[in-house]
């Protein structure tokens, strides 16, 4: 598929449809391709599309929309939800984007490979079903289903929601219940819940990677960067600030989060940040009707709409801690 | 000093013995990740994980620390400076790269004007270094002349060999710790020393096979400012940078901090916390910000590590090759990619 | 923990965000009708219940509140037509999140109080204060810097 994508990108550059290409460039290891702009056919020789191209390029389209000319962007099925959501919010310009919907059969998580005790990786090759990891300490064969990104286990489906053309086959890799993690926490006692989040959040280093990678976090000036807001400190000084940051981060994207899973993917401390976002998604689905952000560009987000019969906030204590 | 030996089974007893006397900071696994933390009964000590997520610099330069507190009572204001550490502690299990990182921090905080908070911690800390046995693909400490099998600058060095750790005190502080460990240590036999030599040779051999084994810092260092600063390479390199602070916060040598005030309701706490040159409000002043684009901020980080710092510190780089940024950058950018991109660009020019 | 100097009992701090048009007037009516409600309740007047940012609530807890209650116009009666409908959804989601993090759900509450409901205001505040007394001091959302200094 990679060859096909490169060739098509070269064609579109040559005929002037687009002036630049937003994609992934080969990294210095097989597992760390980086997001890159390509301005010429020559540069496209470093273009790569493999199992480690997890990065959601929709976020980069916010900046690309401000550039002169059209940008060719490659979006995986789940990335198109984010793009749609950004369209709804007028943060990207549809006319500035030429979208190729790329096939996706699930993306891989290098952390899960490393968690198996594999280190000294010199190369990773493979098929959609299994990879061969070569290391200086020996070679390993691993089934892809064991090393997929968390988000791929709860895949939203193989449909691209917005595109100009499609290249490559996609597969629905869903093999887990999306809300299972949230339900497991809801079933805990308040003490257990508190201990669980305390342990997870105490790892947070406030690097803001979760916020900066998030396609829904598109404010020009984040409230946590404001010099006029004294709760928004740069470091986690106390346990309160950890909670404050993560509650507010998730709240600000509630109803707009497409559950693309980028926050959990990039967290250097492996905090399952999707558990915050999914809790809001679950509550919204249960209280205000099923809603999938980014499914189409003309939906009204649940937190900017209401019905007369909405549940009262007291429902939280009525439902109680299970 | 004499080579000693301690079995893996005896380690928990050693931790308990040290912790009974002074606080013990070592790699502990919490919620799936290993970071340096204070030892307590039942802690999941993890000496196997090669790289803790954060470096060990927290032990001497915590992510945030209070400097002083102002309190108002009626019409009086009292200012209480934070007390300097007067308690001894042991930092256990630091790797050679992080240790060099501490040396870099020393250059910054122990030169005039001396940072008293940092100096107090340095004076009260005993450092036990753990030699590396199985480097990972992102390691490149050798590029900075670091021998991961012989950590330099520690009070005690330990080496994992088979079911035991070899133990050698390097300084007086280290001797004191050896005395404290007492009967948990036994004298190493001649075959133990041979085994240690073999293990070291094995590790050094691995170092030559790593993907970054050929990394060269040619072209970087003191006095290269003019040459690198205006290079067009920066313009393409920074593009995927998300402007998060992951690289700076996991880095063992990043030493920038911000000083802020926190209003507690009836007083003010002045504290400092790590800052990141990747942030838009970094070194923000009354007139605004002196680095306005992400390209400038991105360039600052690498120029600081590879050019400015060596210029001011006799050629010492403020990167130690720990590879944490290689592992953790959400956008898969890192210092090695920067070095290689320049290498490629410069070769292209001379062709 | 704030303690009554005479009795040694726990005296909570309760923050009540009251909308200018209904609930604040309701509090006024409670006062002029000589209805009692606990002195532990500190009222903050806001233009509309919808003005209450989730961060206000977290900040209140941070600075030492043991309970936070938001009062607004009855649904349908909002001075700005729809503000309280938005507030209702937001607060529901926020309270649910706090519950999910293990913070006692009784510490937060929303009540609709009109300008004519002085009695409701007073009983709501009495009830809420009793609940906070029962729950004790807030420790799960405390900021030690504020507690100790």
Whether A173 contacts A162, CB under 8 Å: no
Q: Which residues of chain B have pLDDT under 70?
A: 349-351
CA-based end-to-end distance of chain C: 12
What ipTM was reported for this prediction? Answer: 0.92
Fold observed for domain C14-148: Rossmann fold (3.40.50)
Burial B177-203 (b: 16+ CB within 10 A, else e): bbebbeebbeebeeebeebbeebbeeb
Minimum Cα–Cα distance from B58: chain A residue? A205
Whether A42 contacts A25, CB under 8 Å: no
CB contact under 8 A, C146 and B265: yes
CB contact under 8 A, A316 and C92: yes
Cα–Cα–Cα angle for B188, B190, B192, nearest 5°?
55
pLDDT of residue A256: 94
> Is residue B230 within 8 angstroms of chain C, CB to CB?
no
Residue pairs between chains A and B whose CB atoms are closer than 8 Å: 139
Orientation of helix A190-201 relative to helix A239-252, angle to 10°: 90
CB contact under 8 A, C146 and B69: no
Among C13, C15, C62, C145, pick the best mutation site for testing chain B contact (most B Cβ within 10 A). Answer: C145
Could you give the C-alpha distances from A303 to A287, B124, C77, C87, in angstroms and in order?
A: 12, 54, 20, 9
- Residue B335: both structure tokens together: 């210092």
pLDDT bracket for residue A322 (50, 70, 90):
very low
Residue that the structure tokens 């009222």 belong to:
C43
> Is residue B267 within 8 angstroms of chain C, CB to CB?
yes
3-state helix, strand, coil in chain B (%, to 5): 40, 25, 40
Among B264, B266, B270, B271, pick the best mutation site for testing chain C contact (most C Cβ within 10 A). Answer: B264
Residue pairs between chains B and C whose CB atoms are closer than 8 Å: 14
- Give this prediction's pTM: 0.93
Tell me the nearest-neighbour CA distance from C55 into chain A, angstroms.
Answer: 7
Q: Which of A82, A78, A42, A207 is nearest to B242 (CA)?
A: A207
Tell me the nearest-neighbour CA distance from C131 into chain B, angstroms.
Answer: 25
Question: Between A29, A208, A235, which is nearest B137 by CB?
Answer: A29
Tell me the nearest-neighbour CA distance from B345 into chain A, angstroms.
Answer: 13
Minimum Cα–Cα distance from B262: chain A residue? A230
Domain positions in chain B: 3-209, 225-350
- Residue B199: both structure tokens together: 């293990």
pLDDT of residue C149: 61
pLDDT of residue B244: 93
Mean pLDDT by 10 residues, chain C (149 residues): 72 95 96 94 96 93 93 95 95 95 92 96 96 92 78
Domain positions in chain C: 14-148
Residue that the structure tokens 């020789």 belong to:
A45
CB contact under 8 A, A240 and C142: yes
Rg of chain A's alpha carbons, rounded to an integer?
A: 21
Tell me the nearest-neighbour CA distance from B270 into chain C, angstroms.
Answer: 11
pLDDT digits (tens, 9 = 90+) for A155-207: 999 999 999 999 999 999 999 999 999 999 999 999 999 999 999 999 999 99
The sheet carrying C108-112 orders its strands as C41-46, C14-19, C67-72, C108-112
Contacts of A32 (CB under 8 A, 6+ apart): A52, A110, B326, B332
Question: Between A34, A60, A135, which is nearest B333 by CB?
Answer: A34
Question: Between C92, C102, C108, which is nearest A311 by CB?
Answer: C92
Which ranges of chain B would DSSP assign to H, the alpha helix? 11-21, 96-109, 116-124, 172-181, 190-209, 225-229, 233-237, 246-250, 294-303, 309-312, 324-328, 335-350
CB contact under 8 A, C55 and A231: yes
CB contact under 8 A, A205 and B258: no
């Amino acid at each position: 598929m990679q060859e096909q994508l490169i060739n098509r990108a070269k064609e579109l550059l040559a005929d002037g449809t687009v002036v630049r290409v937003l994609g992934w460039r080969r990294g210095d290891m097989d597992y760390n391709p980086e997001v890159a702009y390509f301005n010429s056919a020559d540069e496209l020789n470093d273009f790569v599309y493999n199992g480690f191209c997890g990065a959601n390029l929709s976020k980069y389209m916010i900046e690309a929309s401000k550039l002169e000319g059209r940008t060719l962007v490659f979006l995986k099925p789940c990335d198109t939800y984010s793009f749609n959501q950004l369209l709804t919010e007028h943060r990207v310009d549809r006319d500035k984007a030429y979208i190729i919907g790329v096939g996706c059969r699930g993306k891989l998580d290098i952390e899960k490979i490393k968690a198996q005790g594999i280190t000294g990786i010199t190369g990773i090759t493979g098929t959609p079903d299994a990879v061969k990891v070569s290391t200086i300490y020996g070679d390993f064969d691993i089934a892809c289903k064991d090393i997929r990104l968390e988000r791929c286990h709860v895949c939203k489906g193989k449909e691209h929601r917005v595109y100009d053309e499609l290249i490559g086959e996609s597969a629905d890799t869903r093999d887990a219940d999306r809300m299972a993690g949230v339900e497991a926490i809801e079933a805990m006692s308040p003490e257990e819940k508190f201990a669980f989040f305390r342990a997870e959040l105490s790892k947070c280093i406030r690097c803001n990677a979760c916020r900066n990678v998030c396609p829904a976090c598109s404010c020009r000036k984040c409230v946590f960067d404001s010099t006029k807001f004294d709760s928004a400190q740069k470091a986690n000084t106390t346990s309160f600030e950890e909670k404050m940051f993560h509650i507010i981060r998730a709240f600000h994207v509630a109803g707009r989060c497409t559950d693309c899973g980028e926050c959990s993917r990039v967290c250097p401390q492996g905090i399952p940040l999707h558990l915050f976002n999914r809790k809001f998604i679950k509550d919204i689905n249960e209280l205000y009707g099923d809603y999938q952000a980014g499914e189409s560009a003309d939906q009204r987000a649940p937190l900017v709409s209401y019905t007369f019969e909405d549940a009262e906030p007291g429902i939280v204590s009525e439902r109680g801690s299970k | 000093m004499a080579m000693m030996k301690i079995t893996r089974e005896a380690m928990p007893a050693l931790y308990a013995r040290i912790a009974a006397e002074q606080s013990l900071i070592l790699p502990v696994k919490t919620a799936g990740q290993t970071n340096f933390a204070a030892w307590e009964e039942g802690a999941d000590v993890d000496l196997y994980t090669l790289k803790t997520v954060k470096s060990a610099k927290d032990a001497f330069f915590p992510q945030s620390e209070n400097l002083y507190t102002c309190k108002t009572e009626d019409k009086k204001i009292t200012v209480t400076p934070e007390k300097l550490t007067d308690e001894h502690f042991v930092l256990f299990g630091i790797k050679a790269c992080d240790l060099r990182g501490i040396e870099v921090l020393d250059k910054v905080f122990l030169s005039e004007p001396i940072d008293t908070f940092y100096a107090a911690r340095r004076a009260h800390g005993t450092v036990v270094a753990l030699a590396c046995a199985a480097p990972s693909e992102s390691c490149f400490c050798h590029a900075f002349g670091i021998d991961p099998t012989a950590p330099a600058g520690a009070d005690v060095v330990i080496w994992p060999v088979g079911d035991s750790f070899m133990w050698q005190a390097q300084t007086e502080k280290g001797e004191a710790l050896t005395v404290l460990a007492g009967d948990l240590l036994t004298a190493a036999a001649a075959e133990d020393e041979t085994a240690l030599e073999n293990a070291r040779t094995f590790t050094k051999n691995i170092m030559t096979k790593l993907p970054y084994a050929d990394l060269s810092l040619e072209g970087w260092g003191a006095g290269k400012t003019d040459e690198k600063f205006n290079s067009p390479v920066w313009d393409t390199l920074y593009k995927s940078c998300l402007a998060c602070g992951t690289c700076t916060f996991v880095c063992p040598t990043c030493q920038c901090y911000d000083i802020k005030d926190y209003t507690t309701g009836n007083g003010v706490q002045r504290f400092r916390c790590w800052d990141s040159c990747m942030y838009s409000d970094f070194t923000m002043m009354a007139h605004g910000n002196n680095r306005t684009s992400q390209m400038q901020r991105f360039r600052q980080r690498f120029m600081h590590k590879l050019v400015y710092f060596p210029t001011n510190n006799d050629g010492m780089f403020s990167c130690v090759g720990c590879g944490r940024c290689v592992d953790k950058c959400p956008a898969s950018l890192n210092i090695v990619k920067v070095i290689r991109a320049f290498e490629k660009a410069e070769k292209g020019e001379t062709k | 923990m704030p303690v009554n100097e005479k009795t040694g009992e726990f005296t909570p701090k309760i923050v009540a965000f009251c909308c200018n048009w209904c609930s604040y007037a309701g509090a006024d009516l409670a006062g002029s009708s000589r209805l009692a409600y606990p002195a532990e309740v500190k009222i903050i007047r806001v233009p509309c219940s919808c003005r209450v940012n989730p961060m206000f609530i977290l900040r209140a807890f941070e600075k030492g509140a043991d309970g936070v209650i938001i009062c607004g116009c009855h649904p349908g009666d909002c001075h700005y037509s729809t503000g309280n409908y938005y507030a209702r959804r937001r607060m529901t989601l926020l309270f649910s999140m706090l519950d999910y993090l293990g913070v006692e759900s009784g510490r937060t509450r929303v009540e609709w109080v009109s300008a004519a409901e002085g009695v409701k205001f007073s009983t709501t505040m009495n009830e809420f204060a009793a609940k906070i007394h029962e729950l004790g001091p807030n420790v799960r959302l405390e900021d030690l810097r504020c507690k100790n200094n």
